[in-house]
Chain A
Amino acid sequence: MSREKDAANYAIVFFAVLSVLLLLFPASKAAHTARIAASYSLYPSLHLGARYGYFVRNVPSNFLALLETDQENRALKNKVKEQEVKLLSASALVSENERLAKEMRLSRTLPWAGSWARVVSKTPADWYGSFFINKGTDDGIAVNDTVLGMEDDRAGLAGRVFEAYPKFSKVLLITNSAASAVCAIAPAGLEALVEGKGSWLLKVNYVPEESALTEGAEITTAPGGLLFPAGVPVGRVAKVYSRESFMNFITADVTPAVNVNTLKEVFVVKRNLPQEAAAAAGAGWGEAAQYGEQAAANRR
């Protein structure tokens, strides 16, 4: 402790004497040398600082500018995100608009009167069976009205109105395993029965074994059917099955004219069926009963 005290005393005496000498002899050679030596300590600030003063001087303003830029950047990032969302929404709207415009153009060429409806609900458990549309009896929709879908600039049979409520309706799809329609097979116009299979394919039944049913043949609704207007495309023959030994007619798989999975809007054709006819046809799920009876009679 004593040595430290002594050192401190020596140090203060030494530096105090040095300072006093500098004070006493400011113009002496030693003071001048000390001044020059001490001036080197000013180099970092006065020489380099002045040289690069622009960078050093503007630090506060640059810092503020940096903060402002950061805030601006955050705001712009948010704006970009909003714009991206809007862009996505806009592209969806554009494609919807194109689709609707196409459908509207197409609907003008249709020979049937009706109204457009939007598909509002589909049940995964009944994917090929039915869906709901956003039009009901308030809009003039009635049970058994024909429901058309649009695909590849063509209208095709999608199903029929199965239940109609004031604000919405349930559509029985042609792919439903309980649905059926009397149809005509091009080119001869041979009548047969198209039935749903509960899958993406249809089945055409009751085709006489001697008929020349070929793959790719177009199938439309037949004039003989009660529920559907004649001439609505139903699908194309995909695969013809050979006659089974105990049957006297052949069957074939049919690719539907419209993919019921991709329908967003449908065109509901107003049928204005006579009450009795509608009741007769609508008593079952489709035209199978009527056609089955007729086919059985023919066979007899």
Chain B
Amino acid sequence: MTFIFEVLLYLASGSFYWWWTQNLAFFGLAPNFIFAAALSAAILAGPVKAVAWGFFLGLYADMLGVSVLGGYALTYSVMAYAVYVVKRHFDMDSFFSQLVAALSLSWLSMLFYQCLGLVFLGLRPAGIKIFLAEPFLNALAVPVVFQVFYRLKRRLDIL
């Protein structure tokens, strides 16, 4: 049953991101809810499940884009592993640590993804606007998504 809920949550996360970008994007900017979901899952779930969530959410992000399949999957998988390592030393449940993690990991993820793009597709730099603004939007979105995931975890025993 929890597996079904997790699948639904996964689809809901992707659909919500899609809906937001379709309707509430502001100057072409929107929080990356897939990133926020991956980070929240990485904080809340055990290591294997966290990496799996990162991989599949990354795959979803890959499917939405026109870049090569697997770029975001690898990025978010690595991010989930990094969070697993970091959360053993830091309290990732607090608002401030989530804010800092979201900000730093957003940039790191972008840079990592840019590197992958550089290696596998040639140079495809992201827009400077997205590079500068999106991490801040993600930093705002992550605590909210984390709270949603946290409540769902407590209620439905998922993640």
Confirm or deny: B94 has a beta carbon within 8 angstroms of a beta carbon on chain A.
Answer: no
Q: How far is the CA of A20 from the CA of B62 in the complex (A)?
A: 13
Q: Which of B1-37 contact A (CB under 8 A)?
A: 10-12, 14-15, 18-19, 22-24
Q: How many A-B residue pairs have CB under 8 A?
A: 106
User: Looking across the interface, which residue of chain B has its beta carbon closest to that of A1?
Assistant: B88
Would A38 and B62 count as touching, CB distance under 8 A?
A: yes
A19-B55, A56-B23, A60-B23 known; 7 new pairs, CB 8 Å cut-off, are A15-B74, A16-B77, A19-B73, A19-B74, A31-B69, A38-B59, A41-B60
Q: B47 contacts which of A11, A23, A41, A44 (Cβ < 8 Å)?
A: A11
Interface check B123, CB cutoff 8 A: no
In the bound complex, do residue A41 and residue B14 qualify as a contact, i.e. CB atoms below 8 Å apart? yes
**Chain A residues within an 8 Å CB radius of B74:** 15-16, 19-20, 23
Partner of B73, one of A4, A11, A15, A56: A15
B68 near A22: Cβ-Cβ < 8 Å: yes
Given the known A-B contacts A38-B60, A38-B63, are A57 and B54 also in contact in the complex, defined by CB atoms under 8 Å? no
A residues within 8 Å of B by Cβ? Answer: 4-5, 7-8, 10-12, 15-16, 18-24, 26, 31, 34-35, 38-39, 41-42, 44-46, 49, 53, 56-57, 59-60
Please indicate the chain A residues that have their CB under 8 angstroms from the CB of B120 in the complex. Answer: 23-24
Expressed in whole angstroms, the Cα–Cα distance for A46 and B15 within the complex equals 8
Partner of B11, one of A18, A23, A41: A41
User: Are the C-beta atoms of A49 and B63 separated by less than 8 Å?
Assistant: no
CB contacts (< 8 Å) of A53 on chain B: these are 22
Interface residues of B in 51-90 (CB under 8 A from A): 51-52, 54-56, 58-60, 62-64, 68-71, 73-74, 77-78, 80-81, 84
CB-based contact A44/B11 at 8 Å: yes
In angstroms, how far is the closest chain A Cβ from the Cβ of B92?
Answer: 15
* Cβ A7 vs Cβ B48 within 8 A: yes
> When the two chains form their complex, are residues B51 and A23 in contact, meaning their CB atoms are under 8 A apart?
no
A residues less than 8 Å from B10 (CB atoms): 41
If over half of A's interface residues share one DSSP class (helix, strand or loop), that class is named, otherwise mixed; here it is: helix
Asked if residues B60 and A19 are in contact (CB atoms below 8 Å), the reply is no
Q: Do A15 and B77 touch (CB < 8 A)?
A: yes
Task: Answer whether A15 and B54 are a contact pair too, CB < 8 Å, given A38-B60, A39-B63, A56-B19.
Answer: yes
Q: 14 A-B contacts, Cβ less than 8 Å apart?
A: A4-B46, A11-B48, A16-B77, A19-B70, A19-B71, A19-B77, A23-B74, A24-B120, A26-B70, A35-B69, A38-B60, A44-B14, A49-B15, A56-B22
B116, CB-defined interface residue at 8 Å: yes
The 8 lowest CB-CB distance pairs between A and B, nearest first, are A22-B70, A8-B47, A19-B74, A45-B18, A45-B15, A12-B81, A11-B51, A15-B55
Q: Known contacts A26-B69, A35-B63, A38-B62: does B14 contact A18 (CB below 8 Å)? A: no
Residues of A with C-beta under 8 A to B14: 41-42, 44-45
| Residues on the B chain within 8 Å of A24, using CB | 120
A42 lies within 8 A of B71 (CB): no
A40–chain B nearest beta-carbon distance, Å: 9
Name the contact of A57 in the complex, choosing from B22, B46, B48 (C-beta under 8 A): B22
- Whether the pair B47, A59 counts as a contact (CB closer than 8 A) is no
Determine whether the beta carbon of B73 is less than 8 Å from that of A18: yes
Residue-by-residue, is B107-122 near A (CB-CB < 8 Å gives 1, otherwise 0)? 0000000001000100
CB-CB nearest in chain A for B81? A12
Cβ of B41 to closest chain A Cβ, rounded Å? 13
Which residues in B have their C-beta under 8 angstroms from that of A42? Answer: 14, 60, 63-64
CB contacts (< 8 Å) of A45 on chain B: these are 14-15, 18-19
Q: Note all chain A residues with C-beta closer than 8 A to B19.
A: 45, 49, 56, 59
Min C-beta distance of A49 to chain B, whole Å: 6
CB atoms of B58 and A19 under 8 A apart: yes
In chain A, what residue has the closest Cβ to B49?
Answer: A11
In the complex, the chain A residue whose C-beta lies closest to that of B16 is A45
